[in-house]
Chains A and B, each alone.
Chain A
């Protein structure tokens, strides 16, 4: 794996992605210092164009767009990372059980996984948030609910190929419990592929979150990029900047994460490396 990270560091695109992400993390950490006020608070006159006293202008209510974007970054990262972690835990358990026990358990679990991959993901996520009522936690649940199948399939595939390996059979032969074989021997061996695929899931999760918030399903008490765009839409004709800058923030963040994900995939997934 260390060798893999060295390969990652030689990939210029991946390094660019990492730079973007580091800048974003710095922004999130410094937000309370740069913008100590609540982003929902009025900061000045409404609809100020960018460049004046407000770097990125103000919105219809006179809130500072730059402050809104800075606070939105935190929301996007929390939801993106939170939903991906939840999807990984759930997907790894489902895929791990299927790949370890095989037989009928595997058939049933994989049919369920395929089912969740077939249904229209975005509408399903939308329904979950609408039913649980919009909040950060229901967005995380909804995004995780549509993201876990790819992890489940990945972990199942890895487990099936690891199952026949000598070290796994040796453990089982020595009398190790199923849980011990799964958690301390097999899962660590799929860690690199999970990291690579999981990093790409974060980007998808952030895009999904933006779409949900744009449709009015974001947490109404938390600032998010989708929310700013959806509020700015009504004045698109006179104030282009309200919608433009949060979108650029989404684009750069997702691009950075995808580049890192691609880099990790190339560095850590031996099977993809030959391509």
Chain B
């Protein structure tokens, strides 16, 4: 019961963030040079005068700025994100359609980055200044400086063009008509390179953080106490240090979720992955700003949800947390 109340409280405190995004979007529309309707329609010149009038009316652009803002908030609150002229479809349905490939890519990359990052950080910290530690530190330094899209292109050169092991782009083999496990295998083969390009930077980040966090915890008094009680080093690590060392990782992982969405735009573009990132890139190419703003809004909502999940994990990991 207390937990439910806590979640309710967290949801309410998340609302200002959503409202903030709406305000920011509204400001961006009006920051753009020229008529707001032409900004929303896109500078492609594809819009008809009737469509522009409809836009003006729908967003209340023929009214005062205050009314315009209220109309905008109400539209957003109803997930009424507008119509994409370029794609000839409703913006919200366009985004929902693309949600599954993007979620698959992000969850795979995120899971890999967190899991491997924690393991590598732990290995590095337990053998501090050993050759393992040095190699892991070196790899994470390089990974930390590598642009994800370039890594993706280089993997295409090596593994697709050179060795012919993996497909260069897409979600699955078009027209192959795979079913069941064959389809899963096919998608997995397409997923490997995008997921690695997206994950590597975060893997390096979590490995560095985990190493620092474990080293900090091993210096704590409770570790000395556990050692004095005669517990094995292994038991101290898994039973005491690990759980405490994970806390900062969970916090940072929640913060980084937003950047993962940004990273997926460039990576999806490289691999033609049919997700929200590719949708954003195409919107950018055709200057379909309304679609871009809607993607921004949706990703911010997604981040708020992820942060709520992170809160739950945090409470589970640390019983001292007051709820």
A residues apposed to B, CB below 8 Å: 111, 115, 117-124, 126-128, 130-133, 203, 207, 210-211, 214-217, 229, 233, 236-237, 240, 243-244, 246-247, 250-255, 258-259, 275
Contact = CB atoms under 8 A, between A and B. Distances in A.
Contacts of B296: 119-120, 123-124, 127
Contacts of B266: 211, 214-215
Contacts, number: 139
A217 B255 CA distance: 26
Given A216-B284, A251-B145, A126 B157 contact: no
Nearest to A253: B145
Nearest to B156: A236
A254 B144 CA distance: 8
Contacts of A216: 284-285
B149 A123 contact: no
B265 A215 contact: yes
B24 interface: yes
Nearest to A114: B17
Interface residues on B, range: 35 or more
Contact of A255 (B39, B141, B157, B289): B141
Q: Is the interface of B mostly helix, strand, loop or mixed?
A: helix
Contact of A117 (B21, B146, B255, B300): B255
A130 B284 contact: yes
Contact of B295 (A123, A210, A244, A275): A123
A53 to B, nearest CB: 24
Nearest to A207: B147
Interface string B124-166: 0000000000000000011011110110011011000100000
Interface of B: 16-17, 20-21, 24, 28, 31-33, 39, 141-142, 144-147, 149-150, 153-154, 156-157, 161, 212, 215-216, 255, 258-259, 261-263, 265-266, 269-270, 280-281, 284-285, 287, 289, 292-293, 295-296, 299-300, 303-304, 307
A247 B153 contact: yes
Given A130-B287, A214-B266, A244 B154 contact: yes
A261 to B, nearest CB: 11
Contact of A122 (B154, B156, B255, B259): B259
A120 B161 CA distance: 33
Given A120-B303, A233-B153, 9 more contacts: A123-B261, A123-B292, A211-B147, A215-B269, A240-B161, A251-B146, A251-B150, A254-B145, A275-B215
B200 to A, nearest CB: 12
Nearest to B162: A240
A246 to B, nearest CB: 8
